Amino acid sequence: MKLPFTTRSSLLKLAAGMSAFLILMAWTLNSVFPLPPLYPDGPATVVVSREGEVLRSFGDRQGVHRYNVTLPEVDPFYIEALLNYEDRWFYHHPGFNPFSILRAAFQWLIHGHVVSGGSTLTMQVARLLDPHERSVAGKFKQLWRALQLEWYYSKDEILTLYLNLAPFGGNIAGVEAAADRYFATSARHLTKNEAALLVVLPQKPSLYRPDRYPEVAKAMRNKVLSRLHDSGLLKAQAFQYLSQEPVELRQSDRVQLAPLLSRTLKQTYPDQHVITTTINDTIQQRVARLLVKVKRDLPVHSSAAVLVVDNQTTEILAYQGSVDFQDDSRFAHVDMTQAVRSPGSTLKPFIYGMAIDRGIIHTESLLSDIPFTFYDYKPQNLNGRFQGAVSVSEALKQSLNIPLIQVFNALGPDVFDAQMKQAGIQLDHEKANLTVGLGGTGTNLMTLASMYRSLAMSGQVSPLRVVKGGAQAVPVANEAQLLSKESSWMVFHMLSSISASDRVVPRVRREIAWKTGTSYGYRDFWSVGVSPGYTVAVWVGRPDATPVVGYLGATRAAPVMFDVFDQLPEEKRRVEQPETVIRKLICWPGGRAKSATVDEDCFNQKYAFTRNGLTPPTLESDGDFVRHDHWPESLSIWHQQRKIISQGHPELEIAIQSIKNGQHYYRSQIRQLKLESNKPASEVLWYINHQPYEQQQLLLADYSGEVVITACQGQQCDQRKIVIHR
């Protein structure tokens, strides 16, 4: 029968009114009782390598650990089994399944207790977000939260929340953390039995834990397998085979990697669930294993820090903030990649580079290594000796202090400081003065790595990146020119010609420009090297700044740096010489091109690398240029006083003469070895296995296996490796 128009109109108005009322009620309830935060106790952060391997995990405020994943990162069989066992109609119901709820209510009325649950996955997520009492009121609250979730989120998003929030026993939540905890694998690579067990474990995580109750866990796993078989998802033969397998647990043998970096990133990004770093898992593990060996040779309370940078991408590939994160006696929790310390001689290459850019010197300019007072500052060389006339390249390679200050004085500390700041590099001192050139300032390993990388990148400083996506690890401008492409290549060329005598047969042959540094008072030992592809920066010392007398950057940090380079892949590029770097024949003492020097004033000829062919005159000690191609006045006087011929040749580098590298010795055949070099014995410091050694004879009875013998004069060292047998 057709209703009268007025009746139909009234019914439509009533329906519209009821709809409006329900919408208003829903809006009011949603305003009064909004959804709680998805992670009410904050994120449980994991820091991972670029390959996705966990470096370190941090629990939320309740100490719960999880590793958030997305649906594509989880094994499809696990998803299929989960939906089949827990909620077959998940993608079709509005957040609750009325048939399941009615069935559960009827069974409860008949039996007086819960026989089967009526909760959908959405309702389980609702309970995890907002726990409730097991009562009728609590169930209604859960239903309301489920409806809210369905309103705000897609089905895939709700399922993802379950994957990351579900409890799996103890302080483990989420399927990824559970897969790692129980099976030492990822959720992407679960076996069918592992997946089935993890499907049922959240139902009663404390009772079904496979590490505590393996037989119960097996029975519940088989219940899931049986359900899958009944549903046609498992064939009979597969079901029989899988159900007979025992529950096999595996524990990961991985140790924490880059723990101090992880701590810093957790503090920097407190709301991130997963922080993906640029760390290369393989290289980081190699560096960590190397430092285990380094620790054995370090004095008590000493530590070490290492950075490895990919020059092309500016990404940090390895980050070791302390020598052993578990050893509190070595101040394990102090991150020495970030600590501000005196850099020793590590700034010298950049002072020379800036002086080249400003036309003050070229690579073979004559410098005066003689006693001299610059205003009220009187620098000394580390070995207390003077060489007289010395070239820029030799002064840099031997790390001589007085020639460096001569150039620094001519350049100007303020100019150096301003150019560093313009490149985004802030050194730690109140006012720039000449002491900055010899370490009278503060910086850290991160900054030094950024600076040395520029030597292989045409002088450009760029931000070092440690987080995938572009987060910076060191505060420098986006890209700035620290040195010109010409001077950066010249400095790279000079530093790469320094011999590393202990590298007899490196795993990968590569060109490495490197420099060491020892801070005032023997508190910090540095070595920074740059190859075409990589930069490696090493710090060794005591984090509490206690002196370690008798060590040098060359003997303590440099061997570690070269060992790290041996862990790196082969080079894929070269540092190309710019066309504007021109090799010119120059004359001493004037320093100018031979073509611009009269023959009677050309006492000594050298080939120098120049910027666009510019050959500036030789510097006087006070910073002025010499006139008429004469010897610097103070240098000439010093030579005359010592009756040294002005054209004197540079001294030979120190070399061990009494021992051959790689030689095997047997204690039954020889008792001791002489320790002799090409330098006077009074000027040489000897080290055995990087420990100071004061005798002139090496007693073989005190050693066994591989022994490293080092002889040093100033910062120049030579090294031999031998093997001693019983």
Known catalytic residues? 86, 345
Distance of CA 690 to the CA centre of its chain: 26
Question: Can you read off the two tokens belonging to residue 222?
Answer: 């088989």
Report how far residue 563's alpha carbon sits from residue 512's, in angstroms, rounded to the nearest whole number: 12
d(CA 215, CA 209): 10
Structure tokens, 566? 């041996």
Which neighbouring-strand residues pair with 593? Answer: 586
What's at 516, amino acid-wise?
A: T
Degrees (nearest 5) of the Cα angle 431, 432, 436? 125
Q: Residue 629: left if φ>0, alpha if ψ -120 to 50, beta else—which one?
A: left
Whole-angstrom distance, CA of residue 637 vs CA of residue 640? 5
Cα 463 to Cα 313: distance, rounded to the nearest angstrom: 10
Q: Are 622 and 632 in contact (CB under 8 A)?
A: no
- What is the dihedral angle through the alpha carbons of 393, 395, 398, 400, rounded to the nearest 10 degrees? -160
Other CB atoms within a 10 A radius of the CB of residue 690 amount to: 19
Pair of tokens at residue 476: 């420098």
Type of residue found at 562: F
**Rounded-to-integer distance, Cα 410 and Cα 679, Å:** 33
- Contact between 537 and 568 under an 8 Å Cβ cutoff? The reply is no
DSSP, collapsed to helix, strand or coil, labels residue 66 as: coil
Cβ(518)–Cβ(382) under 8 Å?
yes
Question: Tokens at residue 213, please?
Answer: 């109750």
CB of 138 within 8 A of CB of 130? no
How far is residue 213 from each of residues 89, 218, 222, 484, 502, measured CA to CA in Å? 31, 9, 14, 68, 56
Q: How far is the C-alpha of 231 from the C-alpha of 235, rounded, in Å?
A: 10
How long is the chain?
A: 726
Q: Which two tokens stand for residue 562?
A: 């070269």
Nearest C-alpha neighbor of 486 from the set 623, 352, 348, 313: 352
